[in-house]
Structure 1
Amino acid sequence: MQLPDSLQPWRQWLTWFAPEHLPLFADLLGRLNPILGPWRGLQQGGVPEPDGLGDLQRRGSYERLLSSEWLLAGEVPEEFLRRAVSGEHMFLAPHYEARQASRLIVVLFDAGPLQLGAARLVHLALLMLLARRAQEAGAELRWGILQDAPQLRPFDGAAQLKALLAARTWNVVSEEHWQTWRHWLGEQSQQAGECWLVGQRLPASDRQFCSHRVHLHRSLDGQSLTFELLAGSQRRVSLPIPEERSALQLLKGQFEGEVVAAPVKGAVPRVAQTLAPIISSHGGHVALRLLDQPGMVVIKLPAHHQKKGLEVRTSVWSGSSSPLGITFLGRSIGAVLSEGDQLRFWHMSGLRAVDKPGRDQLQLPPGTATLLPTVWIRNSTASRLLLLDSKGHLASWSIAGKTGAGPDNGKTRYLADDVMAMAKVDEDAMAYVRRDGSQLYASAVGVSGVVGPFMVGPAKDVTQVLFIAGWPWRVGFGGCALCSVENGSERWTVITASSFPVRSERIELAPGWRGIGLRQRKEEHHCALVLLGPNQRSVALYEEGKQRVLFTTSEEIVRYSYCPMTELIAVLTSARELLVYSLAHGRLRLQVSCNQTPETTRMLSGA
């Protein structure tokens, strides 16, 4: 992102925002920065303690007068008095232990009703200003909410800004709130070098625990905000009310050009957090495992600027069955279920139940904590279901014709062993990579046959494989990326259809970042890697040596999926919030809470 010189000091924080929001922050940061004043950390431990003797000096207490001077007073008293009058006496100077101010900045915000609206945007700007202040002073920045139980949070990502905006309460700050925080801060091992209180009608505080007080309030005509800083002296600046559309987007946590999801006029049932979202290959639906029922909830992704509510439907299977693999068959959801000694194909017309294979043929999980990779491919004449077990065995079931009445239809067949990964790469093709000795080989499976294998590189140290989707897999190698880990950092070797059999590029990620998807546009030769951040709250795109954040979440991402065919990213957070982002459109397609209990669902439906 290109920033003007005036905004370069805050570059690392402003990159979290879309370009259209920069003028707003340029105004706020430019007005607030000059009045904050220099770093003045509170002295720790009171008066510095003496630590031995230092130098000699002409002034001092007569308790530290040199012994030779006292001898002079006994032998030549007139000379002693003359030296005293003329300031010629010599004193011992004590050496004081160096005491450094605490390198911790604490800022506590009022999140009550008096700080709604534009004042919250000033909170964001002040947090970025204090982050740079801490960086320059070699200090740490921690923030908290005055109305909440004492807890200090770091400031290490855009998710913290969203958490600050989400911390709304209808309680006005009281004396009790501050006294609770004051007592808690006094008990901490590391005392604050600076403590900032930010809000309106703040309770009285003392300099021992509060070094800076910021009062934010609207003008009488409602056209501006007054920012008043009390820190020894009093400084004040008037701030304009931000433009309404941009302010509303920011207050809703839409930083990276995100759009508001369509309103939900019904309830989305609670979903399990143990299973990743499933994305349809045509890009119109996302499915999640129900928590309170044995089945799935399918959500139709809303169109841009859609005004009507979401289309949400649920499908359940028998409680005696356990799901092994789930996939979309066009717009409907299907599953491979384990029921006793049989495998049943739920909502998969043409496939009949079969005897469950032995463990040496197909390793099936005993529970439902994880799902096996499952793909459905089809053309105008036939369909094929593929499932990869936990030991690398690739199984297949075929349906020939519309009726599925062929003699070989539905029989379990085994295509390959030692398969590391597979993905749907075209409507009628699935790609996989398997180990064969010391090498890795890629192949494509169609409805009627297999293309390949193609040797893509040595198998040593490869831990993960990602695929490029597209038509090249129908006739040859379509592209993939191989991951190895060194010193905690992922290293990706990308091989495209045009560069095969040699690599097209190598990508080295910063520690903690993980690759979760691979993308290549038709008109470009290079690839982009979809990343999950080390804090589990941000999703980014690495492209041509540059990394940019696509979106962030206020809570930790617990499950995620990427569909190479549709370029959709679906994440599920610890708060059961589902977010679906489209790389092709550069915006969020969906942001909805999946946390309604069955009782609430029935109540809302009845209403």
Structure 2
Amino acid sequence: MNLPPQLAPWSEWLALVPLEMAEPLGQMLLRLQPLVGRMTGVAASPDTIPVGAGSIARRGPYQRLLLSEWAVLDAAPDEFIRRAAANELLFSAPEPQVQRRARLCVALFDAGPEQLGEPRLVQMALMILLARRAGEAGADFQWGVLQEPPTLHAKSRKLRALLDARTLTRVDAAHLNRWNETLGSLGETDEVWQIGASGCGALARTGARVNIEVSLLDAGLKVSITQRRATRELLLELPAPGIGARLLRHPFDPPPQGKSRADDMLSLKQAPVFGLSGTWLAAAREKGGVVLHHVQASAAAQSGKPRRRRATPLGLILVGTMLGYVERRGDFLTFDRFPGRAFGAPRILDCPPPEQFQMPPKAGGWLSTFFMIDHSPTGAGARVFMLDVARQLACWTVYGQKHKHVSDPRFHQVAEEVVGAIQYARTLLYATSEANRTTVYAMGAKEKEPTEIAAFSMQAKRVLFGAPAPARQRASWLYALQRSDQHWLLVDDNFKVTIPLMIGDGGMVMGVARIARSACSAPALLVLSADRRTVDLRSASGNHVVLQSEQPIAQLVLDPTGERLCWLTDSRNLSVRALHGSEVLLHVASAPERGAA
């Protein structure tokens, strides 16, 4: 498991849970660590019986006077008297016998109703911290539950046993009395930690008291530790609800996996395609066809069954739960399953002339496909856009959505020299670049013609689009223009900010997004490293590692909203997670890996 260096001290426990849950749990450990502190050293025994000469001193009883001093007395009595008056005589100093006793740290947890849910996450973190703390001091760690019979458990890695010890019974005087009798046999230097709700009574012997409460005014938990008459408090932020639920219910289970068959082996040549909302994902199968996976909103949600289509499409788009696709059959194109009447039922059309629409020579590669629909009687109609291999944007349009007889599809070429295109909801953005001029256009579902929204006096090899601001204003989109193999230009804030950026280490730019979750954070390029194992966001102010993969990454895709990231490894494992987070929302293992399991 590749954990950040600051989490290395607790790797023994964090290795028990999947990586997407280990990092949020590790952040809780980092926040709580200063409150717990280190275990105090072992106190010396009051026994001071000399067992030998530990050093030489200028004071002491004369029975410990060095033999050399007695020789001075015999040879020069006056010198001996002078040295005695001046405190210059030398004595052997005693070495007290230090008896070190075995130290023990005991943690007792309240498993009652006030500690159900989120407080249990703090108890789990404290158990890890106290076990590690005792190990560093060379002491033993044992734990128990206040509501259970007074039995101490020695295995600190049994996190499941702690989480399963849930009860609706509150701690009462009988529970405390039983534990007081058990704790009476502990040594003077042993520690006792009582962890639970503030309303719970206190044990007769408690070295530290931890109170965990749900904050009524702030989001998070209020944690206070009282030890040696000093109280330290912390408002602890909790992991995302999905991660927290998994830590409490299924902490040691792997991330949800899509249910697939052996013939669903994924193709490494075709990048997966996100739906417009980012909640569905289409992946190409090695032997042809498409498999669809539902991307859950959180890792705690149950994964659904995948959907499959046997035919290999020329292009496809996911609109909601519908998979619209274009299929090539000889000299004909079949449009099917798009929303609405126009392209909902199979519609077979002649292939356009090659000079107007150039298709790939072999089946298997998907052309970028977009779909918009306007239901008004005199509106723009239903339109299917496709970007061909010659960088031409073509369109098929059908009018009359609400009439009994819709019009025949009309084909026309929208633009040439297209270097980038993306669709977000009901808006299509694309960029053309020719004659040292790059122009960005936008077209809404109700607009019959595109609108020029930006122009740059430069030639661009590629133009990437990032997710828009919450206001969905077209000028608020992020843009990344590739000027050469290594030089990029980031455009932000209604085209007022341009940031040059160079990628000179052989990394591949796969998208543009913001360096953090906030809409006001700096723009950055999403880069796949040259060894295809690291994904990071690179901005003018620095780099932020997003993902580290043990297997080389064959395909990397950012969804149109800029919120979710999908990667396909060389071992054909497909995963989806939040771009700014560690929660794995979907994981589909390769067929050989499932067979081995």
Instruction: Give TM-score scaled by structure 2 length.
Output: 0.53
Partner of 1:358: 353
Is the 1:479–1:495 Cα contact (8 Å) retained in structure 2? yes
Change (3 A) 1:445 1:354: same
Partner of 1:542: 538
CA distance in 2, matches of 1:539, 1:273: 18
Deviation of 1:435 (Å): 1.6
Partner of 2:327: 337
Is the 2:294–2:303 Cα contact (8 Å) retained in structure 1? no
CA distance in 2, matches of 1:585, 1:506: 27
Aligned: 1:287 with 2:282: yes
Aligned: 1:465 with 2:457: no
CA distance in 2, matches of 1:546, 1:375: 34
Partner of 2:270: 275
Deviation of 1:474 (Å): 6.4
Change (3 A) 1:362 1:544: same
Partner of 2:385: 386
Deviations 1:33-83 (A, max 9, x none): xxxxxxxxxxxxxxxxxxxxxxxxxxxxxxxxxxxxxxxxxxxxxxxxxxx
CA distance in 2, matches of 1:444, 1:5: 46
CA distance in 2, matches of 1:397, 1:474: 27
Is the 1:429–1:473 Cα contact (8 Å) retained in structure 2? no
Aligned: 1:512 with 2:512: no
Does the residue aligned with 1:353 lie in a helix, a strand or coil? strand
Deviations 1:116-155 (A, max 9, x none): xxxxxxxxxxxxxxxxxxxxxxxxxxxxxxxxxxxxxxxx
Is the 1:267–1:596 Cα contact (8 Å) retained in structure 2? no
Deviations 1:253-274 (A, max 9, x none): xxxx999422455547212221
CA distance in 2, matches of 1:4, 1:578: 29
CA distance in 1, matches of 2:158, 2:455: 53
Deviation of 1:303 (Å): 3.8
Deviation of 1:417 (Å): 0.8
Partner of 1:568: 564
Is the 1:568–1:583 Cα contact (8 Å) retained in structure 2? yes
Deviation of 1:332 (Å): 1.9
Does the residue aligned with 2:587 lie in a helix, a strand or coil? strand
CA distance in 2, matches of 1:585, 1:4: 18
Does the residue aligned with 2:353 lie in a helix, a strand or coil? coil
> How many equivalent residue pairs?
370
Is the 2:370–2:385 Cα contact (8 Å) retained in structure 1? yes
Does the residue aligned with 2:266 lie in a helix, a strand or coil? coil
Change (3 A) 1:475 1:4: closer
User: What amino acid sits opposite 2:270 in the alignment?
Assistant: L
Partner of 1:495: 491
Change (3 A) 1:415 1:473: farther
Aligned: 1:558 with 2:548: no
Partner of 1:376: 371
Deviations 1:202-241 (A, max 9, x none): xxxxxxxxxxxxxxxxx9x999xxxxxxxxxxxxxxxx96
Is the 1:399–1:409 Cα contact (8 Å) retained in structure 2? yes
| Equivalent residues in 2 for 1:33-432, closer than 5 Å | 244=159, 260-264=254-258, 267=261, 269-292=264-287, 294-306=288-300, 308-317=302-311, 323-348=313-338, 349-351=341-343, 352-378=347-373, 381=376, 382-400=381-399, 402=401, 408-424=407-423, 426-432=424-430
Deviation of 1:512 (Å): 2.1
Does the residue aligned with 2:367 lie in a helix, a strand or coil? coil
Change (3 A) 1:525 1:553: closer
User: What amino acid sits opposite 1:343 in the alignment?
Assistant: L
Deviation of 1:573 (Å): 0.9
CA distance in 1, matches of 2:275, 2:309: 16
Change (3 A) 1:419 1:242: same
Change (3 A) 1:5 1:345: closer
Is the 1:441–1:455 Cα contact (8 Å) retained in structure 2? yes
Change (3 A) 1:337 1:328: same
Change (3 A) 1:6 1:298: closer
Is the 2:259–2:305 Cα contact (8 Å) retained in structure 1? no
Deviation of 1:347 (Å): 2.0
Change (3 A) 1:478 1:258: farther
Is the 1:431–1:444 Cα contact (8 Å) retained in structure 2? yes
User: What amino acid sits opposite 1:396 in the alignment?
Assistant: C
Partner of 1:172: none
Deviations 1:276-323 (A, max 9, x none): 11111112111111223x421111113424364432121223xxxx53
Partner of 1:199: none
Partner of 1:592: 588
Instruction: Give TM-score scaled by structure 1 length.
Output: 0.52
Deviations 1:166-207 (A, max 9, x none): xxxxxxxxxxxxxxxxxxxxxxxxxxxxxxxxxxxxxxxxxx
Partner of 1:445: 443
Is 447-456 or 430-439 further displaced after alignment?
447-456
User: What amino acid sits opposite 1:387 in the alignment?
Assistant: M
Does the residue aligned with 2:300 lie in a helix, a strand or coil? coil
CA distance in 2, matches of 1:586, 1:291: 29
Change (3 A) 1:309 1:499: closer
Is the 1:451–1:475 Cα contact (8 Å) retained in structure 2? no
Unaligned runs of 5+ in 2: 10-19, 34-137, 143-154, 161-242, 244-250
Is the 1:452–1:476 Cα contact (8 Å) retained in structure 2? no
Is the 2:398–2:410 Cα contact (8 Å) retained in structure 1? no
CA distance in 1, matches of 2:389, 2:502: 28
CA distance in 2, matches of 1:467, 1:323: 25
CA distance in 2, matches of 1:522, 1:434: 30
Does the residue aligned with 1:450 lie in a helix, a strand or coil? coil
User: What amino acid sits opposite 2:391 in the alignment?
Assistant: G
Does the residue aligned with 2:555 lie in a helix, a strand or coil? strand
Deviation of 1:544 (Å): 5.7
Identical-residue share of aligned pairs (%): 21
Is the 1:423–1:431 Cα contact (8 Å) retained in structure 2? yes
CA distance in 1, matches of 2:591, 2:141: 38
CA distance in 1, matches of 2:342, 2:534: 42
Partner of 2:578: 582
Deviation of 1:459 (Å): 3.6
Deviations 1:439-494 (A, max 9, x none): 0000012223334324432343x3221112337776657441102345xxx33211
- Of structures 1 and 2, the larger Rg is shown by 2
CA distance in 1, matches of 2:552, 2:254: 20
Change (3 A) 1:370 1:259: farther
Change (3 A) 1:580 1:259: farther
CA RMSD between the two structures? 4.5
Change (3 A) 1:538 1:406: farther
Is the 1:258–1:551 Cα contact (8 Å) retained in structure 2? no
